Amino acid sequence: MKMTFRWYGRKTDPIPLKYIRQIPGVSGLMGLLEKPAGEDWPEDEFAALKREVNEAGLEIEVIESVNVHEDIKTGLPSRDKYIENYISTVRMLARHGVKVIIYNFMPVFDWLRTDLARVIPEDGSNSLYFDERDLGAMGPLEIVRKTAEGSRGFTLPGWEPERLALLETTLKQYEGMTGDDLRKNYRYFLDAVITVCEENGVRMACHPDDPAWPIFGLPRIAHSREDFDRIVALHDSPANTVCLCTGSLGSNPDNDIPAIIRHFGSMNRIGAMHVRNVKYLGYHHFREAAHLSSEGDLDLYEIMKAVHETCPDTYIRPDHGRMIWDEKGRPGYGLYDRALGAAYLNGLWEALEKNG
């Protein structure tokens, strides 16, 4: 297992690389370049990022959020141009030693919350929060406005301004589209990209829908074990894998996370893991919790045990943290609680290793 940490780059991430290097057991990043979906990532910019990360004593073998353009998801004729750009980015990242690319195939929205800083009454910290009843009253444009307002001036993954400027047009393109239509377009994308990944020693890892159910009537096809069975079968290859995000899938209590890890881990279809805890508050209602099992409803020991048994070489990062100790950072991506999460997950791992 390689413990990593998400970092947004020096320009927009207030956390210095040195601090990340000082978290015990963190050997690398799940890094990214903040680029609009569909863009061919410039090699010089990535090379500079890699140099900077390596000089700080960290690896950068996993890249997140190489976002898929909406024209690919909706199957417009212009998709071929964007797929070509994607392939060129995959080749470029491979030349620089990247092994896993995390992306998602969610229509329009990446992850969604109704409050980015809900105070946890028990301890005064705050965390990301979702209540579908609040969403019902809001509608897509309103939730976008609210999310942008609550982001403290940081761009949030999947909420890039260029993408949201086109929101109304994009929503129209999805009208009448079914899950099967989306899967058909997904297969077209994978057929083009996965062969290139195989040739270049890269694995694609699909991030689940978050929360793990359909929203605003949009087709969503990645929020259960059955969904991911279909995804890995769309183009059967060891390079077509899952980014197993425990908190996203875990937002639906019907998803048995350790069982899902065992299932895809033993098929060699887990490319990377995002690990965090969730506290259920009711139907389609939850908040994010500290990583420690007893602070939420997921059993992190069982989760790490399933990883240890079936995919022990995977990349992991502690996912969203709460805001604690008065930190003012990017919602979900502060330093302190994620560092505590990494330390805890490393502790569980040490115990699992010593128990054989």
The distance of closest approach from Cβ of residue 32 to ligand DNO in the complex, given in angstroms and rounded to an integer, is 8
Out of 274, 284, 305, 338, name the contact with ligand DNO by CB under 6 A: 274
Rule CB under 6 A: say whether 160 interacts with ligand DNO: no
Out of 89, 104, 277, 293, name the contact with ligand DNO by CB under 6 A: 104
Rule CB under 6 A: say whether 103 interacts with ligand DNO: yes
Out of 38, 157, 318, 341, name the contact with ligand DNO by CB under 6 A: 157
The distance of closest approach from Cβ of residue 283 to ligand DNO in the complex, given in angstroms and rounded to an integer, is 23
Pairing of strands 59-63, 203-207: unpaired
Pairing of strands 26-31, 2-7: parallel
Site for ligand DNO in 279-338 (CB under 6 A): 332
CA 157 – CA 330 distance, rounded (Å):
10
Pairing of strands 115-119, 126-131: antiparallel
- Which residue has the CB atom at the shortest distance from ligand DNO? 157
Residue that is written with structure tokens 């699992």 in the block: 352
* Catalytic (active site) residue 285: no
Site for ligand DNO in 12-41 (CB under 6 A): none
* Catalytic (active site) residue 243: no
Burial 111-123 (b: 16+ CB within 10 A, else e): bbbbbbbbebeee
Q: Are the C-beta atoms of 159 and 147 separated by less than 8 Å?
A: yes
Give the residue with the Cβ less far from ligand DNO, 157 or 250. 157
Give the residue with the Cβ less far from ligand DNO, 157 or 265. 157
* Catalytic (active site) residue 333: yes
Q: In the complex, which residues of this chain contact ligand DNO (CB under 6 A)?
A: 64-65, 102-104, 110-111, 157-158, 207, 274, 332
Report the catalytic residues. Answer: 207, 245, 274, 319-320, 333
